[in-house]
């Protein structure tokens, strides 16, 4: 278990960081796009 945990931690650390960054970028881009679109739509309609 110790070996597996150590190996998993070593392999996961860089991967998790990269995955998190990618997720943050994608999620942030989608979130910002939705917010901006919503604001533009509200301003245009309002």
* Predicted pLDDT of residue 5: 54
Give the single-character DSSP code of 45.
H
* Predicted pLDDT of residue 11: 57
Please tell me the distance from the alpha carbon of residue 40 to that of residue 4, in angstroms, as a whole number. 51
Please tell me the distance from the alpha carbon of residue 45 to that of residue 19, in angstroms, as a whole number. 38
- For the chain, 46 residues long, give each residue's pLDDT as a single digit of tens: 555 555 555 655 666 688 889 999 999 999 999 999 999 999 998 7
Alpha carbon 3 to its chain centroid, in Å, reads 30
Query: pTM higher than 0.85 for the full model?
Result: no
* Predicted pLDDT of residue 18: 86
Please tell me the distance from the alpha carbon of residue 5 to that of residue 26, in angstroms, as a whole number. 29
């Amino acid at each position: 278990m110790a070996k597996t945990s150590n190996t998993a931690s070593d392999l996961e650390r860089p991967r998790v960081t990269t995955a998190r960054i990618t997720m943050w970028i994608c999620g942030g881009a989608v979130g910002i796009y939705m917010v901006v679109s919503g604001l533009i739509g509200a301003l245009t309609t309002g």
